[in-house]
Structure 1
Amino acid sequence: MALGMVDARTPVLVGAGVAGQRVEEAGAGVGELELMARAVEDAAEGLGGLLQAVQHVLVPRGTWRHGDPGRWLARRFKLLDAHTTLAELGVLQQSLITRACADIAAGRADVVLVAGGEAAYRRLRARIAGVELVDPVADGVPDTVWAPGADILARVEIDRHLAVPARQYAVMESAIGAARGLSPADNAREIAALWKGFSQVAADRGDGVRGRVVRKRELLSPDGRNAWLASPYTKWHCSQMNVDQAAALLLCSAEAARRFGVDRGRWVFPTVAAEANTMVPLVARPDLGRSPGFAAVGAALGDGVRDAVHVDLYSCFPAAVRVQQHELGLRERAGRALTVTGGMAFAGGPLNNYALQATAEIADDVLAGGDGLVTSVSGMVTKQAGALWAGSPARGGFRAVDVSAELPSMAVDADYAGPARVVGHTVAFDQGRAAVAVAITESPDGVRTVASSTEADVLASMRHDEWIGRGVTVAEGTLRV
């Protein structure tokens, strides 16, 4: 479709900005609100008066405690009539972008700003040095608070050593490896090879957290600060949330882009976005290494998933990427990268803002040629989303697809006692030492629970031997061989 024929209500991304800092001196640099403002300025550069036409500001909550950061941004940029929304943790980051696009397509808004950011590293440096930070505070209550509809974790997971994300994703890794017929050692090597590739992308960009390519042996045999967290994960397998990064996306209708004289060379089109919001905790999933939600998202996005030249899969942990590879049909991607940034372990993973960062990067890549795919995860691959971006609009216009439906779920009984088999497991570490073996088990009649052991022989065996399918006994939450 020629750009001159673009329907007036077609949503278009016309400004994508990022901001970041890495300051070692305690108290130096700026806080998350100022970083967000810098990202907005970057996104709005060259757009004339379009920024002042923003009608809605959407912000995903981060590690900070601000009440209404959207209103703070609105006042900073004199967006006096803008409606503000704060999305709580558990709302997919893609959902904010999708809502902006859907509101524009439906005529409910002409110009929308989505922005978020963190200054977690700056706060960490100040806390270590005992320095009190005096930064702007965004008080007040947003016009809309967007909260998830259910809890991410099951009570038995919280009570039995499985509340930490690294442990949950490590359990997924055990199921993924077993399904592929890999020994624990071979599974760890495959994970390390995947993550080395991500670190290569970050190193090639020149702004990664590590500043270099991480070698496979460093992930397989950690040393120093790269300590074991949960087998097969070391610290460097995990999202690095202590970063100072912000991103801002300015979206508008094609009519508004024309009205404000936005250069056609800046137009990036969302063509389709899909998300699945049905929440099934890990312990209750029939297959711990699969995601029916992501399979449905991929089907809704269509052939554009495999045709996308530029791809960024949400990369909080390797298991998230491996699940997506399988469900989206990207396991054999012919040498093309699965990230444009280097991923959350190496480019940095601001707690609830990474999908905005990735979208900003994908937008630049799409402008250079080729379509783009960005995915998003909430929780432990508990919710799933993806969006396709292109240099021309989709025939029939932008589509927002909610693929949420009833998903299969196993019965869970925290009080179960008796024979069972292991369906997923990990060994959790404390200060680099193996502390507790944790397993999700299933009874002969299909009842799931979580059990653990601190026995030395179990700790040693579970790290190196195949435990998936092994028969055990569960009694009062204790794993007995």
Structure 2
Amino acid sequence: MDERTPVLVGAGTATQRCDDPAEAVEATELMATALRAAADDAGAGGLLSRVDQIWVPKGTWGYSDPARLVAHSVGAERARSGLADVGILQTAVMGRAAADIAEGRADVVAVVGGEAKYRGLRAAITGGEAPETDQDEAEPDDFVTPHGMIISRAEIDTGLVMATHHYAMIENARRYADAMTLAEHSDAVAGLWARFARTAAANPDAWIRDGLDAATIASPTDGNRMLAWPYTKWHNSQWNVDQAAALLLCSAGTARSLGVPADRWVFPWAAAESNHMVPVTERPAPHRSPGFAHGGQAIAEHVGTATADIDHLDLYSCFPIAVRTQALELGIDPGRDLTVTGGMTWAGGPLNNYVVQSMAKMAAVLRDDPGATGLVTAISGMITKQGLSVWSTEPPPRPFANRDVTEAVAVELVPRPYRTGDGEQATVVSYTVLWGREGPERTVVIGEFADGARTLATSTDTEIMAEATATEFCGRTVTVGADRSFTV
């Protein structure tokens, strides 16, 4: 084996659930705890003092250089600090770490992230405080940020600013494409999420382990209110968590020199990512994701195994349609086990760090099944950017590769033009009804004009909202006004 072969040697997690925020630590301390756990997991001393880089995916917190705080806490003073902004795939961060090791730019790299949003929530509820360390505008040694906007100006102006809104649109477009009735679709989506809930119930690191059934998930109640039709609260990612996770990667030569036991080694075989960004409104087929199709093909060609034949899966699970779309594009049987954690609703989805959490769990799964392969996927935005990585306790059949399929995706995924209407008719491509705490507030449609251009329009008509949630509204013809309203 080449001495520069990258290998994951340690994975750790940290969770706290304190009703009194004064008893809870801030997010960077959770990250440091997870990183120490990863070092302990590696089973070799001296690893943290050898860390060359610490990368942190940006969260909801306000730290300007969180990796530096983590480095100080764990004694990794020589490490360069890195911050990956929201919109950068976590797969890309892991792929960069593996590539830096393989190409000799680093020997040991830590990827760590987390949130303490539950601490903040409890502070708001109790009137307590949840302070964060002030870094006096410190800057990381390395900072990466996405090249474009995940949400378009038109979507922002229409009020489509929450992930729930966009994913509900994608979900409804998929139902129409599959020619499912509303009842069939509701059962399928809730059934999928109930399966994820059962996995989480058996996962000691999961945030919610109640194992809710499909009927409970699908039924709007005071504790499970509708957010954006057809999604209730229990269809949504759970971000109000105090969770962190950390991964330690190093070269095979370094792992040997430090005495990391061979049964701790998990090899990255390949990674693939697409960074082509097209807003949901402008996608030719909103329910499809060419990035996953091309990424899956690139991975399969490199490792010699189709994604559908990989042994263990954790498909990024911010919403049910994210999982359903990936299974469709990757040719994966949707009846298979699609998560090792239980997914972001149940296991917990710390913003911009879930994939580090899922990779920590996947490492444990693969160690318990030596020689098996594992696929971990990532999404940024509204299935806007896509990432995949394959791992195994067996050395890779070929040297690690980080494939970028952005250009191939850009050729296939050409945005539709966008414009507003003025008394023109448009066909509904997809839609959702947005809910407030008092009930439904407005219907939002993605319309397509006769010339193929897309538009967004809204209606606060109560009869339209009732009809849109009782019958299929996709494929309907609406008249779009210059004020972005529509009538039927």
Task: Normalising by structure 2, report the TM-score.
Answer: 0.95
User: How far has the Cα of 1:137 moved from its partner?
Assistant: 3.9
1:41 aligns with 2:36: yes
- Tell me the equivalent position of 2:317: 315
Q: 1:443 to 1:58 in 2, by over 3 A?
A: same
1:418 aligned residue (421, 424, 430): 424
Counterparts of 1:206 and 1:83, CA distance in 2: 33
The correspondence for 1:229, drawn from 227, 230, 240, is: 227
- How far did 1:32 drift? 0.6
Contact 1:416 1:475 in 2 (8 A): yes
Equivalence map 1:353-432=2 (5 Å)? 353-369=353-369, 370-405=372-407, 406=410, 407-414=413-420, 417-432=423-438
Distance change >3 Å, CA 417–CA 275, structure 1 → 2: farther
One-letter amino acid of the structure 2 residue matched with residue 448 of structure 1? R
Shift of 1:337: 1.1
Gaps of 5+ in 2: none
Unaligned runs of 5+ in 1: 1-5
Q: 1:461 aligns with which of 458, 467, 474?
A: 467
Instruction: Find the residue that maps to 1:345 and give its secondary structure.
Output: helix
**1:184-226 alpha-carbon deviations (Å, 9 max, x no partner):** 2211111001000000101122454333111212222221221
From 48, 51, 55, the counterpart of 1:58: 55
Partner residue in 2 for 1:215: 213
How far residue 252 of structure 1 moved from its aligned partner, in angstroms, is 0.3
Q: SS at the partner of 1:40?
A: helix
**Distance in 1 (alpha carbons) for counterparts of 2:327 and 2:238:** 22
CA change 1:48–1:206 in 2 (3 A) is closer
Question: Aligned equivalents of 1:249 and 1:416: distance in 2?
Answer: 54
Q: Does 1:25 align with 2:20?
A: yes
User: Does 74-83 or 92-101 show the bigger shift?
Assistant: 74-83
3-state DSSP of counterpart to 2:247: strand
| Contact 1:57–1:84 (Cα < 8 Å) also in 2 | yes
Match of 1:8 in 2: 3
CA contact (8 A) 1:304 1:388 kept: no
Moved segments of 4+, more than 4 Å: none
Between stretches 383-392 and 296-305, larger displacement belongs to 296-305
**Aligned equivalents of 2:209 and 2:9: distance in 1?**
31
The one-letter amino acid paired with 1:435 is E
| In 2, Cα distance between equivalents of 1:121 and 1:97 | 26
User: In 1, Cα distance between the equivalents of 2:143 and 2:204?
Assistant: 37
The match for 2:73 is 76
**How far, CA to CA, are the matches of 2:54 and 2:246 in structure 1?**
10
8 Å Cα contact 2:269/2:398 also seen in 1: no
C-alpha separation between the residues in 2 aligned to 1:456 and 1:267?
Answer: 58
Distance 1:304 1:393, change over 3 A: farther
Are 2:123 and 1:126 aligned?
Answer: yes
- Distance in structure 1 (CA, Å) of the matches to 2:76 and 2:205: 33
The aligned residue for residue 486 of structure 2 is 479
Matches within 5 A, 1:181-330: 181-302=179-300, 303-330=305-332
What is the identity, as a one-letter code, of the residue corresponding to 1:148? P
Equivalent residues of 1:88, 1:145 under 8 A apart: yes
Under a length normalisation based on structure 1, what TM-score does the superposition of the two structures give?
Answer: 0.96
**Is 1:164 aligned with 2:162?**
yes
For 1:166 and 1:436, how far apart are their aligned partners in 2?
Answer: 14
Q: Distance in 1 between matches of 2:422 and 2:248?
A: 52
**Are residues 410 and 201 of structure 1, via their aligned partners in 2, closer, same or farther at CA, if it must alter by over 3 Å?**
same
- Aligned 8 A contact 2:36 2:74 in 1: no
Pair 1:53–1:416, CA change in 2 (3 A): farther
Query: SS of 1:412's equivalent?
Result: coil
Query: Post-superposition shift, 1:432?
Result: 4.8
**Which secondary structure state, in structure 2, belongs to the residue aligned with residue 257 of structure 1?**
helix
Matched residues, percent identical? 46
- TM-aligned CA distance change 1:207 to 1:260, over 3 Å: closer
Report the CA distance between 1:24 and its aligned residue. Answer: 1.3
* In structure 2, distance between residues paired with 1:217 and 1:115: 36
Separation in structure 1 between the aligned mates of residue 181 and residue 46 of structure 2, nearest angstrom: 59
Q: Please tell me whether the aligned partners of residues 172 and 424 of structure 1 are also in contact (alpha carbons under 8 angstroms).
A: yes
Quote how far apart the aligned CAs of 1:308 are. 1.9
User: What do the CA deviations read for 1:390-424 (whole angstroms, capped 9, x no partner)?
Assistant: 11122221111000022321011145651110001
Paired with 1:463 and 1:231, the residues of 2 have a C-alpha distance of 7
SS at match of 1:205: coil
- Alpha-carbon RMSD: 1.3
Q: Contact (CA 8 Å) 2:29, 2:70: kept in 1 or not?
A: no
**Structure 2: how far apart are the matches of 1:53 and 1:101?**
16
* Secondary structure of 2:71 counterpart: helix
Q: Would the aligned equivalents of 1:315 and 1:344 in 2 still touch at CA under 8 Å?
A: yes
1:369-399 deviation per Cα after TM superposition (whole angstroms, max 9, x unaligned): 1211100000000000010001112222111
How far does the alpha carbon of each residue in 1:299-338 deviate from its partner, in whole angstroms, 9 at most, with x for none? 11113422222211110011111110100111344xx311
Do 1:229 and 1:432's aligned partners in 2 also have CA atoms closer than 8 Å? no
Shift of 1:81: 2.4
Please give the alpha-carbon distance, in whole angstroms, between the structure 2 residues aligned to 1:243 and 1:59: 17
Task: Please state how far the C-alpha of 1:39 moved relative to its aligned partner.
Answer: 0.3
User: In the alignment, which residue of structure 2 is the partner of 1:437?
Assistant: 443
2:21·2:129 contact (CA, 8 Å) conserved in 1? Answer: no
Displacement of 1:112: 0.4
Q: Distance in 2 between matches of 1:160 and 1:433?
A: 19
Q: Distance in 2 between matches of 1:207 and 1:70?
A: 23
Q: How many residues matched?
A: 474
**Paired AA for residue 341 in structure 1:** T
